[in-house]
Amino acid sequence: MTSIGKVGIDVHKKERPQVAESGGIGFMLIYIIVLSIGLLFVPNHLAAQRLSIMIVVLFLVYLIGIYDDFKKLSAIIKPLILLLASLPVFIFRVASPNPILPFVGATRLTIVYWFIAVFVVAITSNASNMLDVMNGVMVMSGIFISITAFISSFILEDQLPSEAIYITRFASLSLCGVLFAFYLFNKYPAKVFAGDTGSLGVGSAIGLIAIYGQIEFLLIVALLLHIMNSFTIISSVKGLKERSQMKSRPVVVEDGIIHANKDKSAPITLVRLLVAGSPKTEKQVIQSILSLVLFCCILAIITAFFMRIDIL
Amino acid sequence: MRNNSLLSVLILSVWLILLFLCLVIGYVIVPMQLGGIIGFIGYLQIISSFILVCLWLIGWYKSLDRLLYKVLLN
């Protein structure tokens, strides 16, 4: 990427080094190949159908990510195209429209589920994209969430059918593997950025694991920080906007120390909230975000135990 | 550290609210369908309660968000 001039500036560092971009093109392609290999070991026909649709949707998101990395999509067009990419979920209805809720057990959302499912991929991929703000944050949070999904598949073994268990275990463990390999290059101080291909791909993979692994509620809890970050940004800038359209940056970097921007019109982001009142180094902010993601994942695992309870 | 703790409390409260709502759905809303009006009514109740919950959460979160922001910056 450096040789073709695809580099970005690491704005949170004092020296503002140039770092190779779009590392996600490599690891997401490997992930899609690994998922394709998984088709050889599926326990039943339904698992093969679910995994096939996952691969198709991920490949479409992968292409969108590459286009976004090189040509830049507008903030409004991007979610719309992601919605189109997730249409196979709606067209080929092989997911189970019975999401399990804690204490309630399996619900019946036979009509509305499919409309919600289409939005899941667009929401999770954008949420992951919005949290890809510092070295290794998006990648390590993806590792935490995929481990959470993997552990939960054992806790919910009696509640889930074999195809859902297979999808959750195989897709989450392989996601964890590729992300860990990439993390070695993306960790602080980063040598490669994941780019939009990586962040959109990881987000959509998590969304698809939630749908086809039948652990929707659980992954909502694991993604609480992502959802909050996206929500505060969208509500503070009043809509979906590109960075260039925002009047001021959420944080100001002085001598490698990150300060919250005091400008009222600056977007409210997670990083701005974390450094408000107490400026931090990039490393401290990364640790803070990851500790919060870990906290969400612990809550998700506790939720999995509550999902075993069926009071009805 | 203080900011981290505040955000953890915020996450924890959202999680507890979600669990509480599931309990309400399980103990109050779903049993209402007993007595013949099965299926569609119960299904509508779950959907409408979820929509109401989402709207309420958005309102609650927006006000809490503003409060949190003021506390952190001052």
Q: Looking at this predicted complex, what is its ipTM? A: 0.88
Report if residue A289 sits inside a domain: no
Number of structural domains chain A divides into: 1
- Percentage of chain A lying above the pLDDT 70 cut: 95
Report DSSP state, residue A254.
E
What are the phi and psi torsion angles at A106 (to 5°)?
-75, 130
Report if residue A152 sits inside a domain: yes
* B19, B58, B72 ranked by CB distance to A277: nearest: B72
- Between CA B26 and CA A45 the distance in angstroms is 33
**Residue B20 near chain A (CB below 8 Å):** no
Report if residue A247 sits inside a domain: no
At A201-255, the pLDDT tens digits run 999 999 999 999 999 999 999 999 998 888 888 877 776 666 666 777 888 888 8
- Residue A68, SS3 per DSSP: helix
Which residues fall within 8 angstroms of residue A105, CB to CB, at 6 or more apart? Answer: A159, A310, A311, A312, B26
Q: Two tokens at B8?
A: 């953890």
pLDDT at residue A5, rounded to an integer: 65
More confident residue, A51 or A238: A51
pLDDT at residue B37, rounded to an integer: 47
pLDDT at A167 over 90: yes
Task: Tell me which residue range forms the domain holding A147.
Answer: 19-236+298-311
More confident residue, A108 or A191: A191
**Residue B10 near chain A (CB below 8 Å):** yes
At A118-139, the pLDDT tens digits run 888 989 999 999 898 899 999 9
Report if residue A51 sits inside a domain: yes
Q: Two tokens at A312?
A: 């009805």
pTM of structure: 0.89
Contact of A253 with A279, CB cutoff 8 Å: no
At B16-74, the pLDDT tens digits run 888 888 887 777 666 655 444 445 555 666 666 667 667 666 676 666 666 666 666 66
- Between CA A237 and CA A246 the distance in angstroms is 7
Report if residue A306 sits inside a domain: yes
pLDDT at residue A243, rounded to an integer: 66
Q: Residue A281: beta bridge partners?
A: A257
Which residues fall within 8 angstroms of residue A258, CB to CB, at 6 or more apart? Answer: A12, A251, A252, A271, A275, A279, A280, A281, A282, A285
pLDDT at residue A244, rounded to an integer: 66
Report if residue A50 sits inside a domain: yes
Which residue bears the tokens 């291909």? A197
- Between CA A69 and CA A239 the distance in angstroms is 22
Report if residue A287 sits inside a domain: no
Report if residue A265 sits inside a domain: no
pLDDT at residue A312, rounded to an integer: 59
Residues of A engaging B, defined by a Cβ cutoff of 8 Å: 101-105, 107-110, 112, 220-221, 224-225, 228, 231-232, 235, 260, 262, 268, 270, 273-278, 288, 291-292, 295-296, 299, 303, 306, 311-312
pLDDT at A152 over 90: yes
DSSP-H helix ranges across B1-74: 2-24, 40-73
pLDDT at residue A88, rounded to an integer: 92
Name the average pLDDT for chain A: 88
